[in-house]
Amino acid sequence: MQFKNIALVGKHQSEAMIEHILHIAQYLIEIKMNVFIDCHQEDDSFINKNVNIGKLVDWLGHIDLVIVIGGDGTLLSVARQVIDFKIPIVGINQGKLGFMTDVVVEEMIEVIENIILKSNYTIESRTLLHANVLRDNKNEYHSVALNDVVISRGAIGNMIEFDIQIDGQFVLSQKSDGIIFATPTGSTAYSLAAGGPILHPNANVFSVVPICPQSLTNRPFVTSDDSVIEFILARENATQIHFDGQECFDLQLNDRVVLKKYPEVIRLIHPRGYNYYRTLRKKLEWSKRVS
């Protein structure tokens, strides 16, 4: 895969972040790449640097590769923007956890060189979850999530009541603070904190994880990612649907949310030798001995 037009995305909230972006930009210019820096407002730091400054969304038809500098939250936002354009993503981790942004800042230039000049990398496909809100059998709202779709109580704070069907078969009625529908990628995010299972990113499944259910018999379960999952809001209450924690929409009584695998995938580029289980050991401190 050849890369020529490369976008850099990162939150410009610190001098260190701007320095990282400029460092990568300068290297890419030196090796004759066309550089695009995502910047939603004019930033003097990037002026006269021989780069294109603007919004990622305006370049999606021209970009070959996106380099995300920051944490998983930034990568999630980028993923939903590029999904229909088949643009691969490299994640540079400036945070602490970062399951998807797996390249450390200290090695970023070496890794980028291996990817662009030496084609020395692996590419991994990640499944997304699509949710469509139906109100009176009409499409009311829809979006996609790389991590999870979460339906939870709103500002009032009362538990919500709902039914779940899978492939047209009734599964359960539940009263709880909400429910998480997680992809394998999202299994190490909110789902994990709520007691859900860790899933390998290449597993062809989704997990369904209740949030503080009223009944102790309600437990997380896993279903095929070829399934069609339906959520039906059974009691009027303040209820919201969230996509990767970055988009939300208010639900109403009898709204149906239809969830299924999105037809496109996100392509994550990793350094050669990337190992998911090594990432788990490091991030979750599985190798740390208890004294």
Q: Is 187 within 8 Å of 196 (Cβ atoms)? A: yes
| pLDDT for residue 165 is more than 70 | yes
Domain boundary among 75, 94, 119: 119
- In this predicted structure, what is the pLDDT of residue 47? 62
| pLDDT for residue 278 is more than 80 | yes
| pLDDT for residue 13 is more than 80 | no
In a domain, 288, yes or no: no
Q: Model confidence over 178-192: pLDDT tens digits?
A: 999 999 999 999 999
Q: Is 55 within 8 Å of 78 (Cβ atoms)? A: no
Q: Do residues 24 and 137 both lie within one domain? A: no
Q: Is 270 within 8 Å of 150 (Cβ atoms)? A: no
In a domain, 147, yes or no: yes
The CATH number of the domain where 62 resides is what? 3.40.50.10330
Q: Model confidence over 35-61: pLDDT tens digits?
A: 999 986 555 566 666 889 889 999 999
Q: Do residues 113 and 184 both lie within one domain? A: no
Q: Model confidence over 210-221: pLDDT tens digits?
A: 999 998 888 999
Provide the domain count of the chain. Answer: 2
- In this predicted structure, what is the pLDDT of residue 99? 78
CA distance 212 to 156: 16
Mean pLDDT on 263-287: 89
Q: Do residues 99 and 77 both lie within one domain? A: yes
Q: Do residues 240 and 154 both lie within one domain? A: yes
- In this predicted structure, what is the pLDDT of residue 225? 97
Q: Do residues 229 and 106 both lie within one domain? A: no
- Given 43, 44, 64, 72, which residue is catalytic? 72
Proportion of the chain above pLDDT 70, given as a percent = 93
| pLDDT for residue 169 is more than 90 | yes
Q: Model confidence over 112-164: pLDDT tens digits?
A: 999 999 999 999 999 999 999 999 999 999 999 999 999 999 877 789 999 99
Mean pLDDT on 185-211: 96
- In this predicted structure, what is the pLDDT of residue 101? 82
Please write down the HEC assignment for all residues of the chain: CCCCEEEEEECCCCHHHHHHHHHHHHHHHHCCCEEEEECCCCCHHHCCCCCEEECHHHCCCCCCEEEEEECHHHHHHHHHHHHHHCCCEEEEECCCCCCCCCEEHHHHHHHHHHHHCCCCEEEEEEEEEEEEEEECCEEEEEEEECCEEEEEECCCCCCEEEEEEECCEEEEEEEECEEEEECCHHHHCHHHHCCCCCCCCCCCEEEEEEECCCCCCCCCEEEECCCCEEEEECCCCCEEEEECCCEEEEECCCCEEEEEEEEEEEEEEEECCCCHHHHHHHHHCCCCCCC
Q: Do residues 203 and 159 both lie within one domain? A: yes
Domain boundary among 119, 152, 180: 119
Q: Do residues 21 and 105 both lie within one domain? A: yes
**What residues make up the domain containing 16?**
5-119
Handedness of CA 98, 99, 101, 107 (dihedral sign): positive
The CATH number of the domain where 184 resides is what? 2.60.200.30
pTM of the full predicted structure? Answer: 0.92
Q: Hey, how many other C-beta atoms are within 10 angstroms of the C-beta on 146?
A: 27
Q: Do residues 204 and 103 both lie within one domain? A: no
- In this predicted structure, what is the pLDDT of residue 291? 60
Q: Do residues 146 and 111 both lie within one domain? A: no
Mean pLDDT on 277-282: 87
> Across all residues in the chain, what is the average pLDDT?
91
| pLDDT for residue 263 is more than 90 | yes
Judge whether 72 counts as a catalytic residue: yes
CA distance 63 to 217: 49
Q: Do residues 198 and 97 both lie within one domain? A: no
- In this predicted structure, what is the pLDDT of residue 95? 63
- In this predicted structure, what is the pLDDT of residue 156? 75
Q: Do residues 100 and 151 both lie within one domain? A: no
93 vs 266, more confident: 266
Q: Do residues 81 and 24 both lie within one domain? A: yes
The residue written with tokens 């993923």 in the block is 79
